[in-house]
Structure 1
Amino acid sequence: MQDVARAAGVSTITVSRVLRTPEKVKAATRARVVAAVRELGYVPDQGAGALSSRESRLVAALVSTLSGSIFASTVDGLAQSLREAGHQLLLGTTEYSSATEEALVATALSRRPDGIVLTSGDHTTAARSMLAGAGIPVVEVWELPEDPVDMAVGFSNQEAGRAMTRHLHATGRRRIGFVGGGRQAGRGGGRPAAGGGAADGDRRGRLRRRGYEAALAELGLGAPRVVPEPADGSMVERGARDLAALLECWPDTDAVFCSSDSAALGAVSEARRRGIAVPDRLAIAGFGDFEFAGELGLGLTTVSIPGRAIGAEAGRMLLARKSGEPVETPILDLGFTIVRRATA
C-alpha cells in the first residue's frame, strides 16, 4: 500500500479509502490511485484487513452437490446478492453427507467468514454447536426446518411432493409410483453420520417422497410404489434404473413422480427405450424445472422452484443480520409452482 501511495503521490490512508470507500475520494485522486494499483499489480491483503476490521467479507456456502443444475440458480442468486454488497462466496460441497458438512463447517469457520449458507437441514450435533457458537449469521436454504440454526429460506419439499401427486391424480392417473431418490437412512441411503446421528443421503428427496405417500393415503390410492433399493449412479442413471425396477414390480403403473428433473430425464429415456408412450401410457413428472425441462427440451411437467430468489433472499437476510438490522421473517417460505407440460 505504501508503494501505491508513493506512485500515486498520496498518503496510505487515501489509498485505503479508495479501496474501501471510493465514493468518498475525489475522482481525480481516485483515478491516480487506481492507475498505480494496476501498474504495480497490487492485491490487498484481505487476511490482514480481516484481523484489523474483524470483517472478512467472505460468506461460506456449503452445497449438497454441484452435479447437475439443481443448486446452480440458488448459488448464482446468492453470489450476486453478496457481490453487490462487496462480499465474495467461498463454496464447498458436502455430497449429502452430514459428516462431510461437519468437517467443512470447521474449515469454513477457520477462514473467519461473515456468514454461512447451508443447503442441508440435517446437521450433526457438533456442526450445530459450532454454528451456534460462531456468532455469525447462518441461513439454511431449500428447506424450512422446524428448528433452524438461525434463519431459513426455501419451501416445503413435503408439500411439493403432495401437490405433484395430487396433480397427477387430477389428470386421471390412479397407479402412481415414485422414482429416483428419497431412500431411507440405513437402506442404501448412507450410514448415520459421526458425531450426531443425523442421517446421510438425500433428505429433500425423502421429504418429497413423504409428501407423495401422504397424498396417496389422502386420495385412497393404495400402497406406495417405490423400489426398495434405489439404483446407484448419477441421478439420470438412477431415474432410468428405478423406473425399470418399478415397472417390473408394478407393470400397470400409469404415472411416476420423479424426485428431480434429472431423474425424470432418465425415466423418460427408459420409457422410450421400452416403447412406452409418454404421457398416453405413462405420465412422468419431475422436480426443479431445470433448463432442459422446458418446452424446447423435454416438455416436462415439473415443480418449479424460485432458486435464484432463494439465494438472493438468503444473501439479503445474512447481510441484514450482519449489519445488526432486524430480520422480520427469519423463516421465509417462497413456495413452489406446478408447471404442466407435455409429459403429464
Structure 2
Amino acid sequence: MHDQNSDSVNSKPARLREVAEAAGVSLITASRALSNPSLVSAATIARVQQAVELTGYIPNLLAGGLKSKRSLMVAGLVPAISVAQFLPTVQALTSALDDAGYQLILGQSGYDHAREGALLDTMMSRRPDGIVVTGLVHSPAARERLRRSGIPVVETWDLNDRPIDMLVGFSHQKVGEAVAEYFLSKGWKKLGIATGDDHRAMLRRKGFVATLGRDVPTAIVPAPSSMALGRLAFAELLDKEPGLQAVCCSSDTLAQGVQIEAQSRGLRIPQDLAICGFGGAEFAAHMQPSLTTVQIDGAEIGRLAVRLILQRCRGEKVEHPIIDVGFQIVERHSTVAPDPAHR
C-alpha cells in the first residue's frame, strides 16, 4: 500500500543546482547570488530568490562556513528571556547582527551555573563567530575552555578587570552604593531590601549595606524575580520591620510586586513607603505612581557587544576590550510625591 505521506517524508531537500535551473542561471551565479550578492545584478538576485522560494531550497550555511571559516552565527546566553531588563539587549543584538549579515542563536541558563557551562560547551561545538554572555562566566573551567576556543567572547551586564576576552557592562556594587546614598539623602532611616538570589543582585545589596554602614532587613527570593515574589518579599519585610520607610528592589518587576502589596495594605506611595527598582523596564514609567529605577542602557550594551565581535571577526585590533556603560538613577513618583499644583 502506498503511504500518501511517504513522498513528503522521504523526499530529498532541494539542491542548489535545482535553484539554478529554476532561475535560468549557472550554478556559480546562483551560488554568488546567495553567498556574495554584490557580485551579481539585482535582477539576478530577485530571480534566484524566487527560485529558492519555489524549490524550498535551504542553504547549507555549515558547508559555506567551513570554506569561509565563518558560521554567520553568534550565540547569546541569558539567564532568562522573561527578565524585562535583558530584553533591550537581546533586541539590539538581534538587530545589529542582522544588519551585518549574522543571526543570533539564544540560550537560557536559568541562573544555573552548571546549565550555563553545558550550554557554553554546546555553543562552542557549533563554532559560532562570537559568544555574548549576560553576566560573567563564573566557572574557572568554562572560562578556560572559552579562552582556548579562540572564539570572540563578550561578557555583559557586569564589570571585571579580567574578562575572558571582552566586556561591556557596569559595576553592580556601585549601583548599590548609589541607591544607598540616594536613600540617605532623603533622610529615610527604616530601610529594607527585596532582592533576587543571583550573584549580580547580591553584589548590589553588598554595595547598599556597605554604604549605609549597617545591615538592613532583607527578603531574598529565587531568581528570576516576579511580581508575585515581590508581594511575598514585602510581606516578609513588614514582618521584620513594621515601620519600613523605603525599599530597595533588585528589579523593576520585584518593585512592582512590592508596590502592589503595599497599596493593598492601604499604604500610600511614596508618603508611607518609598520604592526604588532596578533595570529601567519600560513599564516602570507607566506604573501608578511611576517607579523610580536605576536605568541601564541595555540596548547600547547589545550594540557595543556586536561592534566588538565584528571587529574581532574582521581581524581588527580591539583598542578598548572593557567598556563601562555606567548607570543613572531615574527619579519618579515612587520616591518623590508629585507637586499637587501639577497633578
TM-score relative to the length of structure 1:
0.88
Deviates more, 1:161-170 or 1:229-238: 229-238
Q: Cα 1:5–1:206, aligned 2, differ >3 Å: closer, same or farther?
A: same
Deviations 1:102-147, CA, capped at 9 Å, x for gaps: 0001111121211111012142122112211111100001011232
Q: 1:286 to 1:233 in 2, by over 3 A?
A: closer
- In structure 1, the partner of 2:41 is 26
Secondary structure in 2 matching 1:277 = coil
Q: 1:295, 1:341 within 8 Å by CA — same for their partners in 2?
A: no
Q: What's the offset of the Cα at 1:158?
A: 1.2
1:338, CA displacement in angstroms?
0.7
Of 93, 102, 114 in structure 2, the residue corresponding to residue 99 of structure 1 is: 114
Is residue 162–residue 211 contact of structure 1 (8 Å, CA) maintained in 2? yes
Amino acid at match of 2:216: P
Matched, 1:64 2:79: yes
C-alpha distance after superposition, 1:304-324 (max 9, x if no partner): 110011011101111111111
Distance 1:41 1:96 in 2: 39
Given candidates 317, 331, 340, the residue that maps to 2:331 is 340
Q: How does 1:85-96 map to 2 (within 5 A)?
A: 85-96=100-111
Letter of the 1:203 counterpart: H
Structure 1 position 38, deviation (Å): 2.4
**Aligned residues: percent identity?**
46
When residues 123 and 233 of structure 1 are mapped into structure 2, their CA distance, relative to the original with a 3 A threshold, is closer
CA distance in 2, matches of 1:250, 1:307: 34
Task: Look up the equivalent residue of 1:332 and give its one-letter code.
Answer: I
Asked if 1:252 is matched to 2:261, the reply is: no
2:294 aligned partner: 303
Post-superposition offset of 1:53: 2.1
CA contact (8 A) 2:255 2:275 kept: yes
CA shift digits 1:35-65 (9 cap, x unpaired): 2222222221112212222211111101011
Unaligned segments of structure 1, at least 5 residues: 184-201
Hey, what's the Cα distance between the residues in 2 that align with 1:231 and 1:206?
Answer: 12
Query: Where does residue 135 of structure 2 map in the other structure?
Result: 120
Which sits farther off after the overlay, 133-142 or 22-31? 22-31
Partner of 1:225: 217
The residue type equivalent to 2:333 in the other structure is: A
Residue 155 of structure 1, aligned match among 170, 176, 195: 170
| Residue 34 of structure 1, CA deviation | 2.4
Note if contact 1:152-1:332 (Cα within 8 Å) is conserved in structure 2.
yes
CA distance in 1, matches of 2:72, 2:96: 13
Which amino acid letter does the alignment assign opposite residue 205 of structure 1? A
Q: Any residues of structure 2 matched to 1:116-265 within 5 Å, and which?
A: 116-181=131-196, 183=197, 202-217=198-213, 222-227=214-219, 230=221, 234-265=225-256
* Closer, same or farther: CA 233–110 of 1 in aligned 2, 3 Å: closer
Q: 1:231 to 1:46 in 2, by over 3 A?
A: closer
- Aligned partner of 1:156: which letter? S
SS in 1 for 2:54: helix
Q: Aligned equivalents of 1:298 and 1:103: distance in 2?
A: 43
Deviates more, 1:229-238 or 1:152-161: 229-238
Q: TM-score, normalised by structure 2?
A: 0.89
Please tell me whether residue 4 in structure 1 is matched to residue 39 in structure 2: no
Cα RMSD for the two superposed structures: 1.7
Name the amino acid aligned to 1:309.
E
- For 1:297 and 1:39, the matched residues in 2 are separated by 53
Query: Deviation digits for residues 271-308 of structure 1, max 9, x if unmatched?
Result: 11211111111101100111210146550000011001
SS in 1 for 2:84: coil
SS in 2 for 1:75: helix
CA–CA distance in structure 2, aligned partners of residues 297 and 107 of structure 1? 44
Misfit runs of 4+, over 6 Å: none
SS at match of 1:286: strand
For 1:96 and 1:164, the matched residues in 2 are separated by 24
Give, in angstroms, the shift of residue 7 of structure 1: 2.3
CA positional deviation for 1:244: 1.3
Verify: 1:312 aligned to 2:303, yes or no: yes
Alignment CA distance shift 1:297-1:56 (3 Å): farther
Equivalent positions of 1:39-58 (< 5 A) are 39-58=54-73
1:191 alignment counterpart? none
Residues 289, 302 of structure 1: 8 Å contact kept:
yes
Aligned to 1:197: none
Task: Name the structure 2 match of 1:292.
Answer: 283
- Distance in 2 between the 1:36 and 1:223 partners? 68
Distance 2:289 2:37 in 1: 49
Distance 2:224 2:161 in 1: 31
Following superposition, the deviation at residue 268 of structure 1 comes to 0.4
1:14 aligns with 2:29: yes
Q: How far, CA to CA, are the matches of 2:45 and 2:300 in structure 1?
A: 35
Give, as a single letter, the amino acid of the residue that structure 2 aligns with 1:225. P
